[in-house]
Amino acid sequence: MSGNLETGIPQRALPRAVLIYRHSILTRLTHWINLVCILVLLMSGLQIFNAHPALYWGQTGADPRRASFEIGARGPRSSRAGFARIGATTFDTTGILGLFRNASGQDSVRGFPRWVTLPSWRDLALGRRWHFFFAWVFVANLFVYFAAAILSGHLKRDLFLSRPELRPGALARDAANHLRFLFPRGEAARHYNPLQKLSYLSVLFVFLPLMILTGLTMSPAVDAILPWLVDLFGGRQSARTIHFIAANLIVLFVIVHVLMVFLAGPRNELRSMITGKYAIPPKQNHDPASS
């Protein structure tokens, strides 16, 4: 305990952050490989989607009149406009989706802009090669992560929710803390909060399996070996639609995840995923005398 030189009033030493080892080297390695794979799969997937920017449901063929979702451009050449249609609702998306102006002012009709596709130019064959190669890298990396998570107890210990955490009140309280950007400190910061666990489990056991299985369903070679996959998803066109939705939900998860990293403190969060060491912020108790 030290004193204030001017007033002589004793002051308590400020609590310090505690440095812990949070992520194993295998967790960190698979995390960064996943990030690279997701980026390449997203960009190459959009290249593939641009070859026919429409989604269908059921056993329908590629008939634009029966599309559930469509991106494109319409109108006379002098006043052409980009659009996105979901069911019977159409949105003007010129400059965002469907229609773009290049540097010379000429119209470029394509579903997604070139800066988010791999490759940036129109090349379906090359986009498929990128997509298929990194899809298998992604699956192999996930297999390694799951095996390590199960053998080490990480999955059961850190990701599965306890009964108290599943109570509606606990989930509502955690959601309210996130909305107010109140992040855990002290002992609570050593563990994932309920919303983190739910989001990770949703990605691991719902969105990723859906994306992988629907991706396999779209392969004629796999259909020949496992024909029941087509029936499971109600047709290859339905599988393509589910694949697109699951992929976008995973991208949304990544965006929210990155946002939370920056809000919680990017230096500390990135250090934990690079070196494995994470600084636990001290729990600050309210002192009634100070109010």
Per-residue model confidence (pLDDT) at position 290? 38
CATH of domain 20-57+116-283: 1.20.950.20
Highest mean pLDDT among 88-92, 99-103, 167-171, 280-284: 88-92
Highest mean pLDDT among 23-27, 44-48, 159-163, 188-192: 44-48
C-alpha gyration radius of the chain: 25
Task: State the DSSP string of 158-192.
Answer: IISPPHHHHSHHHHHHHHHHHHTT----GGGGGS-
| SS3 category, 11 | strand
List the domain boundaries for the chain. Answer: 20-57+116-283, 58-111
**Alpha-carbon gap, residue 251 to 245, rounded angstroms:** 10
Q: Assess whether pLDDT exceeds 80 at residue 131.
A: yes
Per-residue model confidence (pLDDT) at position 289? 38
Please compute the mean of the pLDDT values over residues 207-228 and round it to a whole number.
91
| SS3 category, 13 | coil
Residue owning tokens 């390695």: 29
Q: Assess whether pLDDT exceeds 90 at residue 8.
A: no
Question: 108 pairs with which residues across the strands?
Answer: 100
**Alpha-carbon gap, residue 63 to 197, rounded angstroms:** 41
**Alpha-carbon gap, residue 111 to 43, rounded angstroms:** 13
Tell me if 32 sits within 8 A of 141, measured CB to CB: no
Q: Assess whether pLDDT exceeds 80 at residue 256.
A: yes
| SS3 category, 108 | strand
Lowest mean pLDDT among 17-21, 204-208, 237-241: 17-21
What mean pLDDT is reported for the chain? Answer: 83
| SS3 category, 21 | strand
pLDDT bracket for residue 285 (50, 70, 90): very low
Encoded tokens for 51: 């070859």
What's phi and psi for 216, nearest 5 deg? -65, -35
**Alpha-carbon gap, residue 1 to 253, rounded angstroms:** 46
Task: State the DSSP string of 78-92.
Answer: GG-EEEEEETTEEEE
User: How big is the chain, counted in residues?
Assistant: 291
Helix (H) / strand (E) containing 98: strand 98-101
Per-residue model confidence (pLDDT) at position 61? 65
Per-residue model confidence (pLDDT) at position 288? 38
268: exposed, middle or buried (Cβ count in 10 Å: 0-12, 13-18, 19+): middle
Residue owning tokens 């192999």: 140
pLDDT bracket for residue 64 (50, 70, 90): low
Per-residue model confidence (pLDDT) at position 246? 94
Q: How much is the pTM?
A: 0.81
**Model pLDDT for residues 144-173, shown as the tens digit of each residue:** 999 988 888 888 888 888 888 778 887 888
**Model pLDDT for residues 160-214, shown as the tens digit of each residue:** 888 887 788 878 887 887 777 767 665 666 677 788 888 889 999 999 999 999 9
pLDDT bracket for residue 92 (50, 70, 90): very high
Q: Assess whether pLDDT exceeds 60 at residue 1.
A: no
44: exposed, middle or buried (Cβ count in 10 Å: 0-12, 13-18, 19+): buried
**Alpha-carbon gap, residue 249 to 63, rounded angstroms:** 26
